[in-house]
């Protein structure tokens, strides 16, 4: 698989580390849990969108764009990384935010990713939940074109065949790391939303016939819909790579039992997962994606889904600055100073 055929700019810190999680593995009684640190891609606190933006921004520059437009939920990590990528490459950036949760507190509407969007120089405009955000972006793009600007529209999550190349790249990187370390990866697990991450991983891993199965833990859509959108994008990405037909439908698996009441709404499992990973490994997850993804992985470990000696890699997709938008959700896990220690 030869990605140098595609335009790419270098804005991420790569390779990201692949590390064992011995204390989490012991706390759960196995399997052997590992973590691929894509929260450490380096761009304005990092995350998975940085890999996608290496290809998307390169395409924007090749097309002569002078401004990028994208959209996401209020606490979108994708919007924040797009604002940073645009700043780094001298493009302007406009962000459309959809209010998917109805939260009105200052922390959610102003702190976390929103604060960083603004510091990075991208103005935001808020739209009510259930707005057709793709249409809203086209409207803004039309207005800009009428004024002589050259807008480049990046879909939500950066999830199209160009963005997915970033996760084909991750599939190649992860496989090479595992080969170097002599690590046999039995399962790869991560949070799946707009589908580009899983689609790129599956296209890359299947295209290389790696034999590494991927499980996406859903954060929004029900299983059927999530698997369909991942499969469609994975198949299109394989075609874009010049290996049409490389992805079979049954290589696309999602478990959407950990969404809770909806996208961006905290669950008990998410809160437990965020606290457990922080307290066993010193790693910060996020409340919307990786926290729910890890909640799923923890539950599957407890149910005995994986063999004791198996090696399971969790892809950490980033987002921890989103924690600052969800201060209230963590009140129940505030540790007590109790005279004999921290009591964790």
From the CB of 143, what's the least distance to ligand PLP, in Å?
A: 27
Site string for ligand PLP, 315-334 (x = CB under 6 A): --xxx---------------
Question: Per CB under 6 A, which of residues 91..150 are in contact with ligand PLP?
Answer: none
| Both structure tokens of 66 | 């002078």
- Mark whether 76 is an active-site residue: yes
- Residue 3 contacts residue 169 (beta carbons within 8 Å): yes
Options 12, 46, 196, 296; binder of ligand PLP; rule CB under 6 A: 196
- Residue 331 contacts residue 204 (beta carbons within 8 Å): no
Question: Per CB under 6 A, which of residues 34..53 are in contact with ligand PLP?
Answer: 47-48
- Interface stretch with ligand PLP, choices 127-135, 193-201, 238-246, 270-278 (CB under 6 A): 193-201
How many residues at the interface with ligand PLP, by CB under 6 A? 20
Show the CA angle centred on residue 278, arms to residues 275 and 280, nearest 5°: 105
**CA–CA distance, 231 with 229 (Å, rounded to integer):** 5
From the CB of 37, what's the least distance to ligand PLP, in Å?
A: 12
| Both structure tokens of 53 | 């933006």
**CA–CA distance, 247 with 249 (Å, rounded to integer):** 7
The DSSP bridge pattern shows strands 187-192 and 311-316 to be parallel
Taking CB under 6 A as the rule, does residue 204 contact ligand PLP?
no
Long-range own/partner contacts, residues 334-343 (CB < 8 A, 24 or more apart): none
- Residue 158 contacts residue 197 (beta carbons within 8 Å): no
How buried is residue 338: exposed, middle or buried, by Cβ count under 10 Å (0-12/13-18/19+)?
exposed
Taking CB under 6 A as the rule, does residue 286 contact ligand PLP?
yes
- Interface stretch with ligand PLP, choices 139-147, 189-197, 259-267, 272-280 (CB under 6 A): 189-197
Options 112, 155, 166, 193; binder of ligand PLP; rule CB under 6 A: 193
Taking CB under 6 A as the rule, does residue 197 contact ligand PLP?
yes
Options 41, 75, 109, 159; binder of ligand PLP; rule CB under 6 A: 159
Q: Which is nearer to ligand PLP, 170 or 308 (CB)?
A: 170
Placement of tokens 């499992």 in the chain: 269
From the candidates 25, 76, 210, 229, give the one annotated as an active-site residue. Answer: 76
Placement of tokens 């992860």 in the chain: 174
Q: Which is nearer to ligand PLP, 13 or 150 (CB)?
A: 13
Classify 121 in phi/psi space as left (phi over 0), alpha (psi -120 to 50) or beta.
left
- Residue 219 contacts residue 289 (beta carbons within 8 Å): yes
Q: Which is nearer to ligand PLP, 30 or 260 (CB)?
A: 260
Q: Which is nearer to ligand PLP, 51 or 187 (CB)?
A: 51
Placement of tokens 């933006």 in the chain: 53
Residue 311 pairs in a beta bridge with 32
Options 8, 36, 37, 78; binder of ligand PLP; rule CB under 6 A: 78
- Residue 200 contacts residue 50 (beta carbons within 8 Å): no
CA 343 centroid distance within chain: 33
Q: Which is nearer to ligand PLP, 31 or 112 (CB)?
A: 112
- Interface stretch with ligand PLP, choices 55-63, 82-90, 181-189, 282-290 (CB under 6 A): 282-290
Give catalytic residues, as residue numbers.
76
Question: What residue ranges bind ligand PLP (CB under 6 A)?
Answer: 47-48, 77-78, 157, 159, 191-198, 286, 289-290, 317-319
């Amino acid at each position: 698989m030869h990605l140098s055929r595609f335009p790419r700019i270098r804005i991420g810190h790569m390779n990201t580390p692949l590390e064992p999680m011995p204390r989490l593995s012991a706390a759960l009684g196995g399997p052997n849990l590992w973590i691929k640190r894509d929260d450490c891609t380096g761009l304005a606190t990092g995350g998975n969108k940085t890999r996608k933006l290496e290809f998307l921004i390169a395409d924007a520059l090749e097309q002569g764009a002078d401004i990028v437009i994208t959209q996401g939920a209020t606490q979108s990590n994708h919007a924040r990384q797009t604002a940073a990528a645009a700043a780094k490459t001298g493009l302007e950036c406009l962000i459309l935010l959809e209010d998917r949760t109805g939260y009105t507190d200052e922390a959610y509407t102003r702190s976390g990713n929103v604060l960083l969007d603004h510091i990075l120089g991208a103005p935001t405009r808020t739209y009510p939940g259930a707005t057709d955000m793709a249409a809203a972006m086209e409207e803004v793009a039309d207005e800009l074109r009428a004024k002589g600007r050259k807008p480049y529209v990046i879909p939500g999550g950066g999830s199209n065949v160009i963005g997915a190349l970033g996760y084909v790249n991750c599939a190649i990187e992860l496989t090479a790391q595992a080969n170097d370390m002599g690590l046999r990866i039995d399962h790869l697990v991560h949070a799946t939303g707009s589908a580009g991450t899983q689609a790129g991983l599956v296209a890359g891993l299947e295209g290389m016939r790696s034999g590494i199965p991927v499980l996406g833990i859903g954060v929004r859509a029900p299983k059927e819909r999530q698997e369909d959108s991942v499969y469609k994008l994975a198949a299109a990405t394989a075609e874009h790579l010049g290996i049409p037909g490389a992805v079979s439908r049954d290589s696309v698996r999602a478990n959407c039992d950990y969404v809770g009441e909806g996208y961006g709404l905290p669950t008990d499992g998410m809160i437990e997962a965020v606290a457990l990973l922080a307290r066993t490994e010193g790693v910060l997850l996020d409340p919307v994606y990786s926290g729910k993804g890890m909640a799923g992985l923890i539950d599957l470990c407890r149910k005995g889904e994986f063999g004791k000696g198996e090696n399971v890699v969790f892809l950490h997709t980033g987002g921890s600055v989103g924690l600052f938008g969800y201060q209230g959700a963590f009140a129940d896990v505030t540790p007590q100073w109790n005279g004999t220690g921290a009591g964790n």
